[in-house]
Structure 1
Amino acid sequence: MLYLDYKKDSVGRYVMIKIAVLEDSEFDYARICKAWELFSKEYHLSYELTRFNDSASLLEQFHSQFDLLFLDIEVPGKNGMETAKDIRQKDHSVVIVFLTNFSKYAVTGYEVGAADYMLKPLDYYSFALKMHKVLHLVSQNNDRTLIIQTKGGMHRFSINDLLYVEINNHDLIYHLETENIMTRGSLSDVEHVLPTRLFSRCNNCYLVNLKHVTKIKDNTVFIGTDQLAISRPKKKNFMNDLTNYIGGNLS
């Protein structure tokens, strides 16, 4: 029996893949449903489809609860491409696949980090071939993303985009390349979630993504345009972690 290792929980059980479909055509939505029905039976996957007829309803209800988005480009109102751009403001890493009648949109899709595009009417053979790649990305996202609950809703982003985490009183500030996200919590809790090989404290207030360190000068670490102090008690361990990270990536 063949199982595709796309999405598992912490103890290795297969969990449901949650999929949103932006599609106003009954005919095309029926073909998507049939394709998923066949694919799930062939590869023993559990999934849940949620349909949206227009972009406004998807954007209103979207809060990073889906693993995968199928977006029809030609929908009434805001098209699928513009919808994807809006979604990327909330979620940097959710996997997006475009549905279109025209292959010319394939290049444009890369602007929003789309995983792939599928031509309509959907053909099961080509669908199945592309889904192996797409669901591999879903699996990677499951391991490499954080979902943060804030007062404004949920935010999901790639760990790779995280520069550092700051604690200020009881406020946690996630410094990303494009924005800062604030929530409540403790730095210790974040430290337990993030990979230890990649993150290290330079002092009690900052947990640094070693990938983004550009320079060390005296007791200061440079991350992009930011400069963070390295405390005396943390310096030896921080420098060891940085050396091990650099060495591991060179070997």
Structure 2
Amino acid sequence: MIQIGFCDDDLSILSELRVLLDRYRVERNVEITSAAFQSPLELLTEIERGTRFDILLLDVMMPGENGIDTAREIRRYDQSMKIIFLTSSAEFAVESYTVGAYFYQLKPIWQESFFRLLDSVIAECAKSGSMSLILRCKSGITRVELDKLEYCEVLGRALWLHLTDGTVLESGGGMDHLCEQLTEHDNFLRIHRSYLVNLDHIKSIVPKTITMDSLAELPVPRGKYAELKDLYLEYAFRRKQVFLT
């Protein structure tokens, strides 16, 4: 299910976008929910409450806070939302990319260009969604690319995700729920009730320790070394990785 938000102070534009989206739903046979906002304040209030949009069509020029400033605020809560600016002039194109905009749509909005844009951005959402994880962290809603997730650990009541670039994210979710989300990805293995590792980032396994690419050392539970080693080797062979002995 794709969630789309519209924000424009012009009611006629919001009405036009709803009509175009309804046509798109029917012609493409896709499930999309939408919400419309007449001001950045309404939109930001909803996002701060926890509402998440996959795609946001945002007017650049609005009374009070403009679209660019609104996008900067949104990025405090959500780094992965695909933001598309609505504008009557291409002069804001360069500035729009400073806030991680996906694209900008010139007004007036024609059906052909609108459909083509939605085709592109929805395909991008599907692509990034299949290889990423959406987390609600202290820093806001964050999309984590799975190939950059090295390992996860439980500390206290929090879940800590360690990324390959050294970033550490704190999430309130539980390890059991995280494992369920990653069931389809065979490169993730729960080695301990408090640890989940990405097999692609294991540097070495010895009887008491798994060393990750970052040189982080994770404990191997008593009596589990042989099982974990065999699971890792099976995964490596499936990936046709080469071993020298």
**Fold agreement, TM-score > 0.5:** yes
What amino acid maps onto 2:186 in structure 1?
R
| Structure 2 CA distance for partners of 1:179 and 1:34, relative to 1, 3 Å | farther
Query: What residue in structure 1 maps to residue 118 of structure 2?
Result: 131
Shift of 1:23: 1.0
| TM-score, length of structure 2 as denominator length | 0.74
Structure 2 match to 1:193: 181
Query: What is the aligned residue count?
Result: 229
- Percent identity over the alignment is 26
In the alignment, is residue 93 of structure 1 matched against residue 80 of structure 2? yes
Separation in 1, partners of 2:42, 2:17: 19
Q: Distance in 1 between the 2:230 and 2:177 partners?
A: 19
Q: CA deviation at 1:190?
A: 1.9
RMSD: 3.3
Q: Deviations over 1:109-139 (max 9, x none)?
A: 4444433221112111111112111111233
Alignment of 1:6-85 (within 5 A): 15=1, 17-62=2-47, 63-85=50-72
Residue aligning to 1:227: 216
Amino acid of the residue matched to residue 17 of structure 2?
I
Given that 1:198 and 1:210 are in contact with CA atoms closer than 8 Å, whether structure 2 keeps it comes out as yes
| Partner amino acid, structure 1, of 2:14 | Y
Tell me, in whole angstroms, the C-alpha distance in 1 between the residues paired with 2:34 and 2:198.
35
Answer yes or no: is the 8 Å Cα contact 1:64–1:91 preserved in 2. no
Distance 1:116 1:31 in 2: 19
Aligned residue for 1:197, secondary structure, equals coil
Of the three residues 153, 163, 167, the one matched with 2:154 is 167
Take 1:89 and 1:244, find their aligned partners in 2: how far apart are those partners?
42
Gaps of 5+ in 2: none
- Determine if contact 1:221/1:228 at 8 Å carries over to the other structure: yes
Q: State whether structure 2 residue 164 is matched by structure 1 residue 180.
A: no
Conserved? CA contact 1:173–1:181, under 8 Å: yes
For residues 17 and 170 of structure 2, the distance between their equivalents in structure 1, rounded to whole angstroms, comes to 35
Residue in structure 2 matched with residue 158 of structure 1 by the alignment: 144
How far, CA to CA, are the matches of 1:73 and 1:89 in structure 2?
18
Cα deviations by residue, 1:165-219 (Å, 9 ceiling, x for unpaired): 211244322345655223152x2432232143232345543212345x3854874
Contact persistence 1:64–1:156 (CA under 8 A)? no
Structure of larger gyration radius:
2
Q: Against the structure 1 CA distance between its residues 198 and 115, is the aligned structure 2 distance closer, same or farther, given a 3 Å change threshold?
A: farther
Give the structure, 1 or 2, with the largest relative contact order (CA under 8 Å, sep 6 or more).
Answer: 1
Where do 5+ consecutive residues of structure 1 fail to align?
1-14
